Amino acid sequence: MTFLIYLAAYLIGSIPTALLFGKFAFGIDIRDHGSNNPGATNTLRVLGKKAAIVVLLVDVGKGAAAAAMPAILNAEADPLIVGMAAVAGHCFPVFAGFRGGKAIATTAGVLLAANIWMFLIAYISFIAIIFLTKYVFFGSLSVGASLLIYSLFTEGTEHELIFSIFLLFLLFLHRSNIKNFIGNNEPKINDKRLKDDRIPPRDDKKRA
């Protein structure tokens, strides 16, 4: 039963929300546009706010659904670790050639279902760092850092190892952003050049 729960969580996480939305609503592979990342941030950059909201909500829902499974099925499994299986699926989806997103939205769903305090600490940090730096990837890295710090200084969490691995995982996933930042090529969230990446919906293309 435990193995099946982890497998189900991974498969739930593997649903490629941004990729499916881009193909059916816009007729594109979002991995060929913008930052080439099939996540909510690149969806905002390439497809606009409405598309990004849909992708964000579904990706958050994937993490929450996975983390809730142990309680729903009355199984002896740590909801946080089960949820991380969904995060792994989101980042390396079996349904999309293992080319996935960068973990942040699905992790939010996991924390919402598993530990609301972790969610608040991680995502207040996420928003604050983006506000201060204007770089989304710094905010994303702060999620891993804040969760690790929380686990180190809070008794009873027992998740220091998983959050250490998660932070390293985030550094790996954002290696291109770090490289671009060092080379002064990483766009800020308010960069006007990002508007040039916008793609009109499929219906708009037909009218043109």
Q: Give the pLDDT means over successive 10-residue stretches in the chain (208 positions).
A: 92 96 91 88 88 95 97 92 96 93 94 95 96 94 96 80 94 94 88 61 50
| Other beta carbons within 10 Å of 152 | 12
The identity of residue 168, as a single letter, is L
**Whether the predicted model's global pTM rises above the 0.85 cut:** yes
Residue 35: the pLDDT is 82
The identity of residue 8, as a single letter, is A
Nearest C-alpha neighbor of 17 from the set 89, 81, 83? 89
Residues 6 or more apart whose Cβ sits within 8 Å of residue 30: 18, 19, 21, 22, 38, 42, 43, 46, 47
Residue 203: the pLDDT is 58
Residue 197: the pLDDT is 60
Nearest C-alpha neighbor of 105 from the set 38, 162, 179, 159? 38
Residue 125: the pLDDT is 97
Nearest C-alpha neighbor of 83 from the set 98, 96, 104, 65? 65
